Each structure stands twice: as structure tokens, then as C-alpha cells.
């Protein structure tokens, strides 16, 4: 079986890490650890920073697209990371999906809204992974929120290149 599917279905990595562990991590753990993001938000290309990270196959992408349990787990992973960034996912009464600044945003923005922060690359990965795993609405909602943050809070802090990478990651 595919390692990404096994991880998302509850299996431990060789290090002993499980998805449910990541869901329970503190903000400090989410910030300081750098080897989990490739598993929680896999891509279809090799990771430059972790050569042992899994690569998302087309077959695995189809499994996520068809399996509501897997999609729910990706959305739970997204919720964890959105809290980390001070953001929140909402489904409006008309089933429109939005990502907004949470009440914690003023406190959390300092973690990632500064020039050349490594979380900018994490956000690019998250956006692209959401799209690849069949959660395009989530990717678009997050990209729209990030675009708004770039225009308001992030002006002259988040580069135009980063903002464009976020838009492209959600679209491709």
C-alpha cells in the first residue's frame, strides 16, 4: 500500500510519528519540526528539503478524491495549520467556503508575516497539496485569504513573488 495512504489511515512513520500526533501538537512543535509537512501535505514532486519524503502518485490522488474519510482528515490537518497561522475555515449557509482571519490572527501573524519566512514555502505546499488531493475549494479559499492578507497586513512584507506562488499553487 502507498505510504501516504497508510499514514493518513493511521499508520506510524518509521520515526513513530502518526497523523493524530501532529493534530495534537502545540504551535511550538508545528513551528520547530520540519519533517512532518511533506507527509501531512504531500506533493507530486520530490522534496528538496527532505529526500525521504513521499511523492504523491496519481493513484494516491484518486484515492483521496474518492474517499471522504481521507478528505476529512486532510481538512482536519488544514484546520490545525490554519489555527497555527491565525486563520479559520468556514462553510457559509450557501455552501460557499471561505478562509478568514481568526480572532487569534493578531497574535499569530508574527509567526509568519515577515520577509522570507519559511512558512511562506509551507503555505505554498499546503495550497498545492490541497488541490492535488481534490480539495480545490479549500485551496482557492485559502489563496483568496492569503491574497487579502498580502494586500492589507503583508504589504511590503510578503514579496510579490511569494504572493504569486500562492495564487499559482491554488490554480495549477
Query: What tens-digit pLDDT sequence spans the chain (172 residues)?
Result: 799 999 999 999 888 999 999 999 999 999 999 889 999 999 999 988 888 889 999 999 999 999 999 999 999 999 999 999 999 999 999 889 999 999 999 999 999 999 889 999 999 999 999 999 999 999 999 999 999 999 988 778 898 899 999 999 998 6
Asked whether the beta carbons of 21 and 33 are under 8 A apart, the reply is no
Give me the sign of the Cα torsion angle 30, 78, 127, 164.
negative
Ramachandran angles phi, psi of 104, nearest 5°? -85, -5
Residue 165 domain boundaries: 3-171
Domains contained in the chain, number: 1
pTM passes above 0.85:
yes
Amino acid at each position: 500500500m502507498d505510504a501516504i495512504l497508510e499514514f493518513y489511515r493511521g499508520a506510524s512513520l518509521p520515526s513513530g510519528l502518526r497523523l493524530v500526533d501532529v493534530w495534537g501538537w502545540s504551535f511550538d512543535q508545528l513551528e520547530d519540526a520540519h519533517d512532518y509537512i511533506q507527509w501531512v501535505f504531500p506533493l507530486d514532486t520530490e522534496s528538496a528539503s527532505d529526500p525521504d519524503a513521499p511523492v504523491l502518485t496519481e493513484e494516491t490522488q484518486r484515492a483521496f478524491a474518492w474517499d471522504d474519510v481521507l478528505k476529512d482528515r486532510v481538512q482536519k490537518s488544514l484546520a490545525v495549520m490554519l489555527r497555527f497561522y491565525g486563520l479559520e475555515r468556514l462553510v457559509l449557509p450557501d455552501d460557499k467556503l471561505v478562509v478568514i482571519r481568526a480572532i487569534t490572527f493578531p497574535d499569530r501573524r508574527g509567526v509568519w508575516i515577515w520577509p522570507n519566512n519559511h512558512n511562506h514555502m509551507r503555505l505554498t505546499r499546503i495550497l498545492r497539496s490541497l488541490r492535488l488531493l481534490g480539495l480545490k475549494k479549500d485551496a482557492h479559499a485559502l489563496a483568496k485569504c492569503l491574497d487579502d492578507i498580502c494586500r492589507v497586513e503583508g504589504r511590503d512584507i510578503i514579496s510579490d513573488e511569494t504572493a504569486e506562488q500562492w495564487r499559482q499553487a491554488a490554480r495549477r
